Amino acid sequence: MSETVIPYMVKPHPVTGLPNGKFGIWLFLSSEVMLFGALFSSYVLIRIGMPHWPPEGGLSSEVLSVPWGTFNTAVLITSSITMVLAWASCKMGSLPRFKRWMGATVFLALVFLVVKYFEYSDKFHHDHFPSHDNFFAVYFLLTGLHGLHIVGGIIVNTFLLTWGSRMWKTDPEHFTNRVENAGLYWHFVDLVWIFLFPSLYLL
């Protein structure tokens, strides 16, 4: 098909210093900040309207599992590191090493989801559904939406690991840019969790 040639698809724009895709991903992340910002503000507003939090008494750290939360935090931070290493491997021109680190990133993301699955089923087991009270409503809303972002990241990263990596042969620079963009997104998802964990589990 006849695609029009769009300038700065791969090469950075001389003034902004960014290729189109990277600029786009930063804008996307800014809107994500507004999304999670709105959710965090809602959490604050609902929480200060309550005489006690969690409403049933006790402490957040007693209702949610801090050890598993800590473990998952470590998992996500590690996956951010492997993501950087995957991108660095592309920069250094080694596809096999990229595949190794990207594989590790996807694996760690799956570990995070599995832990989350056990945490959720534990809550359901104790009849703690979102409808139970607003503590669980907030918990499931924020972690659920974050979980969906993790799933999105897994899909993108798996694509880059498999079919997407075919671009390496034809246009390695463009491929490296894509990995970088996926990395920016992945660090953001990681960062959201770093705010979520203390404000939900610890405070």
Q: Site residues for another protein, window 17-36 (CB under 8 A)?
A: 18, 20, 23-24, 27-28, 30-32, 34-35
Considering beta carbons, is residue 6 or 92 the nearer one to another protein?
6
172 binds another protein (CB under 8 A): no
170 binds another protein (CB under 8 A): no
Tell me how far, at minimum, the Cβ of 9 lies from another protein, in Å. Answer: 8
Total residues found in the chain within this entry: 203
Rounded Cα–Cα distance for residues 21 and 9 (Å)? 7
Cβ(21)–Cβ(10) below 8 Å:
no
Rounded Cα–Cα distance for residues 33 and 105 (Å)? 23
Considering beta carbons, is residue 71 or 120 the nearer one to another protein?
120
Q: Which residues bind another protein (CB under 8 A)?
A: 1-8, 13, 16, 18, 20, 23-24, 27-28, 30-32, 34-35, 37-39, 42, 45-46, 49-50, 55, 129-134, 137, 140-141, 145
